Chains A and B, each alone.
Chain A
């Protein structure tokens, strides 16, 4: 066994772990993938947090879309998803999503999930934006938490080996160019090399690259960056969903998610003049329009001077009964009470917040990426949601594609190629380099987040995007400093954030049209989503561009 400990290196591989399937990430998609892959044996799951405490599934409040009623149909869910996604979605992925979401919901119920149920013993559903049928299943406003607790119960019944508070730094490839595992740091900064036949990337999203974000601290885009560096192709990275309703104050809690369930349960939006302004933007669907439309409406109200003094608008549920608020929105009630606002009596103040990255690693319906040996599922994968995600489709996505990734990774053949030692040495040298660095990663992180918010946010133009890209490159060139081995991770994270941010901005420059969540104030071409000649933007180490597509006249 060769331990990678060249004399010039202070860092070396402390432990080697072999697996058939390596799952990176412990959110809804990762755990579902591990559960499925465990049917084939030899599963190792690496979680950068304590499993169940990281990622965005745990925080997801509103719900899970699934067609469960006779009056609803898979076809309508499919159309809603495509229309909501401005027809940029990969139709094959959408088919998988809408067809299998009900089966995956049944799995959760069978495994013990405590979803709300109706009088006649069916999983209860609430209306969510952009959908013609109330098909969003929920567990109060802690739906994702319910799911993850259930999934961890189920995972515990498998022989999956779980590494908690271990963070993958980079993917590792073999001599044939196949992904062959990953190199990771534990809590103390020890290096672990995971070697696998198949690797499932389920690292979630990355809107922590924005100053105002709903994401947990773990949402730093590690998976996008690692896949890109390994040579995988990503698509539509410009498609960043700004959730319409994030908290506005106190300052440090700005961006915290105010669930769409608030509007689903009947909450209304009012500007500072107490006008129900959605009448001007989408009179038909009003507050339950798609998220891109509502977010832009709020941003426009604020930009045009009709916002509150804190730069938001009002979201009001005071017309609902206290009992409804307490039972359907308990997390919201509790969070706002902690900041001195009783939402039963006074309106919330909200403004858009970076929420979800629709783009991501290009996958097939079997969750295969463009790299052999690498599978991806959940938010790190692209193509399911197109240019705008419907609320409730992300939790469904974690289960449908988590299961698929786990299945096909599990079925993957044993890998034969030798691991590329030189690449591992290079990573170790990079880690060593952080001890010689001079710049506090916290400073780079802060600068990056502001740059992205100010120049690659809801409303974009080429000049801002180019300036942002230049600044990101400057930041990425900074020599980050690790104060201890435990701080190496923060350097790696900030490096990933810079990479993810640059992917977003580069793709934003590639798409000249307004489409879903992507709005170019300087758009040179006017397109209609259904007939746009543009397809996915794509980006990899090898190439970048935008696909053109034939659209029937």
Chain B
């Protein structure tokens, strides 16, 4: 037995105007789950504590709560001393019990055709990954799009795709899906992160539904424009200034001895819209002994197409890109765009390894820059944090480069998944939430590693937004200036 102290959000609509926290200390067995701690509170302290539970084994989806802010199944999450237990971010009925029924009611039911037979094996296998949902609504609680739009929720769209894949279903799932907010999803993958069954709703449902919508000509006009641009130019960004590729040779040799070599996948944003940041990155790599090979025949990675379901010529792009790097014998391809990186890692099958710049720099180790005299916070790009599982590396680098680093709760900025172009009012609303979070940190600068996040957050806040490589370069320049000044 061990002692666990927990804070529980209590709310009785008959008495309270708003929820409040109560703290309890209970004895629980080794390995006890959050649910068992709640049982102990109910049985030993307050029999009126209200929470839902049933199967106790992660199969019924009754007991989802937020523990330290993250939606989890109480019956599967281990109880921790000092934890805070709150209801899901849904209308609270009492204490930890929320109203699940309105969301469950939006989850579509199959409309079987009268002559429906057994699907084929491949059809069943395609449906299965979308069928594990236990309707716990962790994803609905966590989804940022739901905070600012009337998006029906990740699992609701999951079900639309499950039905779209079923030859027995006779419903019009695309029209349904669009009504339920198909284009509101920023593909931030927060839903997958909190899903007890790890269902990849953005990849396996949202993007696939958008593909079907695309085949029916229902892609948003702004997204179609981007697709046209890529098809015509190989790039998702129009040329308005000299591009990165126009400014650099194929091989960029480091200043000192060669410690390593990477191929550089530049990405459309860095190539066409913010080439200076990519040039900054080259300076940082040069300084740290890394040779960079830049195939000039690379094109758009296809991310803007895949995220919006316009996949008809994505295979061509993939082939061109893979050949561009493979032909030069490149073993490691580096990205500095979180979106390109996630796409190359997750949507490509590459004969080379793909690494984000923060992985490359932390693996080789960098020359310490002079610390900039600023307080910086860091915005986790969704496609880096969840798309590539990279959390620590950028923080490690940033801590080396600034006087003070302050954390900010991670949430999608609203730029991804074609939302910035397709549903600008949603992107703006999510950006405003980032602005609030940024200001709450009191930081002088917001640092990130994704050009889309950088661009979008800069639009939404007065606090300067900078790429991590630019910060590192500024640190090196400061170091050099101090040396010269000292000399």
Contact across chains for B32 and A486 when beta carbons are under 8 A apart: no
Q: Which of B125-133, B216-224, B414-422, B444-452 contacts A (4 or more CB under 8 A)?
A: B125-133
Q: Counting CB contacts under 8 A, is B82 at the interface? A: no
Per the bound structure, the CA–CA distance linking A54 and B119 in Å amounts to: 29
Contact across chains for B131 and A253 when beta carbons are under 8 A apart: no
Per the bound structure, the CA–CA distance linking A50 and B33 in Å amounts to: 22
B121 partner residues in chain A, CB cutoff 8 A: 117-119, 121
Contact across chains for B55 and A114 when beta carbons are under 8 A apart: no
**Beyond A59-B57, A156-B109, is A110–B116 a contact (Cβ under 8 Å)?**
yes
Contact mask for chain A residues 309-339; partner B; CB cutoff 8 A; 1 contact, 0 none: 0000000000000000000001100110011
Q: Counting CB contacts under 8 A, is B148 at the interface? A: no
Contact across chains for B112 and A111 when beta carbons are under 8 A apart: yes
A256 partner residues in chain B, CB cutoff 8 A: 56-57
Q: Which of A139-147, A228-236, A528-536 contacts B (4 or more CB under 8 A)?
A: A139-147
Q: Counting CB contacts under 8 A, is B36 at the interface? A: yes
**Beyond A50-B100, A112-B110, A117-B124, is A251–B54 a contact (Cβ under 8 Å)?**
no
> Closest Cβ of chain B: how far from A1's Cβ, in Å?
27
Contact across chains for A58 and B59 when beta carbons are under 8 A apart: yes
Closest to B77 in A: A338
Per the bound structure, the CA–CA distance linking A145 and B58 in Å amounts to: 12
> Closest Cβ of chain B: how far from A185's Cβ, in Å?
14
Contact across chains for B124 and A114 when beta carbons are under 8 A apart: yes
Contact across chains for A145 and B31 when beta carbons are under 8 A apart: no
Main secondary structure, interface of A, reads: loop
Q: Counting CB contacts under 8 A, is B43 at the interface? A: yes
Contact across chains for A250 and B48 when beta carbons are under 8 A apart: no
Contact across chains for A121 and B55 when beta carbons are under 8 A apart: no
Interface residues of B in 13-30 (CB under 8 A from A): 28-30
Per the bound structure, the CA–CA distance linking A482 and B386 in Å amounts to: 47
Contact mask for chain A residues 186-216; partner B; CB cutoff 8 A; 1 contact, 0 none: 0100000000000000000000000000001
A251 partner residues in chain B, CB cutoff 8 A: 29-32
A216 partner residues in chain B, CB cutoff 8 A: 54-56, 60
Contact across chains for A53 and B61 when beta carbons are under 8 A apart: yes
Contact across chains for B56 and A117 when beta carbons are under 8 A apart: no
B76 partner residues in chain A, CB cutoff 8 A: 335, 338
> Closest Cβ of chain A: how far from B22's Cβ, in Å?
15
Contact mask for chain B residues 442-472; partner A; CB cutoff 8 A; 1 contact, 0 none: 0000000000000000000000000000000
Per the bound structure, the CA–CA distance linking A486 and B46 in Å amounts to: 13
A139 partner residues in chain B, CB cutoff 8 A: 131
Main secondary structure, interface of B, reads: loop
Per the bound structure, the CA–CA distance linking A207 and B42 in Å amounts to: 22
**Beyond A483-B47, A486-B50, is A50–B29 a contact (Cβ under 8 Å)?**
no
**Beyond A252-B29, A335-B57, A484-B48, is A164–B101 a contact (Cβ under 8 Å)?**
yes
Closest to A334 in B: B58
**Beyond A121-B118, A252-B32, A442-B43, is A112–B112 a contact (Cβ under 8 Å)?**
yes
Contact mask for chain A residues 160-182; partner B; CB cutoff 8 A; 1 contact, 0 none: 00001000000000000000000
Contact across chains for B56 and A153 when beta carbons are under 8 A apart: no
Interface residues of B in 185-229 (CB under 8 A from A): 197
Contact mask for chain A residues 89-124; partner B; CB cutoff 8 A; 1 contact, 0 none: 000000000000000000001111011111101110
Contact across chains for B47 and A442 when beta carbons are under 8 A apart: yes
Per the bound structure, the CA–CA distance linking A239 and B43 in Å amounts to: 31
Q: Counting CB contacts under 8 A, is B356 at the interface? A: no
**Beyond A440-B43, A440-B47, is A153–B110 a contact (Cβ under 8 Å)?**
yes
> Closest Cβ of chain B: how far from A81's Cβ, in Å?
25
Contact across chains for A145 and B56 when beta carbons are under 8 A apart: no
Contact across chains for A114 and B112 when beta carbons are under 8 A apart: no
Q: Counting CB contacts under 8 A, is B169 at the interface? A: yes
Q: Counting CB contacts under 8 A, is B134 at the interface? A: yes
Contact across chains for A253 and B43 when beta carbons are under 8 A apart: no
> Closest Cβ of chain B: how far from A130's Cβ, in Å?
25
Per the bound structure, the CA–CA distance linking A483 and B134 in Å amounts to: 32
Contact across chains for A339 and B128 when beta carbons are under 8 A apart: no
> Closest Cβ of chain B: how far from A143's Cβ, in Å?
11
Contact mask for chain B residues 113-125; partner A; CB cutoff 8 A; 1 contact, 0 none: 0001011110010
Task: Point out which of B36, B61, B101, B109 has the most chain A C-beta atoms below 10 A from its C-beta.
Answer: B109
Task: Point out which of B31, B43, B52, B110 has the most chain A C-beta atoms below 10 A from its C-beta.
Answer: B110
> Closest Cβ of chain A: how far from B110's Cβ, in Å?
4
Closest to A187 in B: B93
A252 partner residues in chain B, CB cutoff 8 A: 28-29, 31-33, 36
Taking residues whose C-beta sits less than 8 angstroms from the other chain, chain B's interface range is 35 or more
Contact across chains for B31 and A122 when beta carbons are under 8 A apart: no
**Beyond A116-B124, A121-B121, A217-B56, is A110–B43 a contact (Cβ under 8 Å)?**
no
- Cross-chain contact of B62 among A49, A122, A330 (Cβ < 8 A): A49
Q: Counting CB contacts under 8 A, is B481 at the interface? A: no
Contact across chains for B124 and A330 when beta carbons are under 8 A apart: no
Closest to A217 in B: B54
B93 partner residues in chain A, CB cutoff 8 A: 187
Q: Counting CB contacts under 8 A, is A517 at the interface? A: no
Interface residues of A in 469-496 (CB under 8 A from B): 483-484, 486-487, 490
Q: Counting CB contacts under 8 A, is A218 at the interface? A: yes
Per the bound structure, the CA–CA distance linking A109 and B100 in Å amounts to: 28
B62 partner residues in chain A, CB cutoff 8 A: 49-50, 53-54
A442 partner residues in chain B, CB cutoff 8 A: 42-43, 47
Per the bound structure, the CA–CA distance linking A79 and B54 in Å amounts to: 35
> Closest Cβ of chain B: how far from A292's Cβ, in Å?
23
Contact across chains for A112 and B60 when beta carbons are under 8 A apart: no
B168 partner residues in chain A, CB cutoff 8 A: 110, 112
> Closest Cβ of chain B: how far from A393's Cβ, in Å?
20
Q: Counting CB contacts under 8 A, is A257 at the interface? A: yes
Q: Counting CB contacts under 8 A, is B426 at the interface? A: no
Contact mask for chain B residues 84-101; partner A; CB cutoff 8 A; 1 contact, 0 none: 000000000110000011
Per the bound structure, the CA–CA distance linking A218 and B61 in Å amounts to: 14
A484 partner residues in chain B, CB cutoff 8 A: 47-48
Per the bound structure, the CA–CA distance linking A331 and B76 in Å amounts to: 12
**Beyond A59-B59, A114-B124, is A49–B47 a contact (Cβ under 8 Å)?**
no
Contact across chains for A146 and B55 when beta carbons are under 8 A apart: no
> Closest Cβ of chain B: how far from A62's Cβ, in Å?
13
> Closest Cβ of chain B: how far from A207's Cβ, in Å?
13
Q: Counting CB contacts under 8 A, is A52 at the interface? A: yes
A483 partner residues in chain B, CB cutoff 8 A: 46-48
> Closest Cβ of chain B: how far from A114's Cβ, in Å?
5
Q: Counting CB contacts under 8 A, is A281 at the interface? A: no
**Beyond A53-B62, A54-B54, is A121–B31 a contact (Cβ under 8 Å)?**
no
Per the bound structure, the CA–CA distance linking A140 and B110 in Å amounts to: 20
> Closest Cβ of chain B: how far from A138's Cβ, in Å?
12
- Cross-chain contact of B60 among A59, A114, A334, A440 (Cβ < 8 A): A59
Q: Counting CB contacts under 8 A, is A249 at the interface? A: yes
- Cross-chain contact of B48 among A58, A109, A140, A486 (Cβ < 8 A): A486
Q: Counting CB contacts under 8 A, is A2 at the interface? A: no
A-B contact pairs, 25 of them (CB 8 A): A50-B100, A50-B101, A50-B104, A54-B60, A110-B112, A110-B168, A111-B112, A112-B168, A114-B124, A114-B128, A115-B124, A117-B124, A118-B121, A123-B118, A146-B131, A216-B54, A216-B60, A217-B56, A250-B30, A252-B32, A339-B31, A442-B47, A483-B47, A487-B47, A487-B48
Q: Interface on A for B, CB 8 Å cutoff?
A: 49-50, 52-54, 58-59, 109-112, 114-119, 121-123, 139-140, 142, 145-146, 149-150, 152-153, 156-157, 164, 187, 216-218, 249-253, 256-257, 330-331, 334-335, 338-339, 440, 442-443, 483-484, 486-487, 490
Name 13 extra pairs, CB < 8 A, besides A216-B54, A252-B32, A487-B48: A49-B54, A49-B60, A59-B59, A114-B124, A150-B110, A216-B60, A250-B30, A251-B29, A252-B36, A256-B56, A334-B197, A442-B43, A486-B50
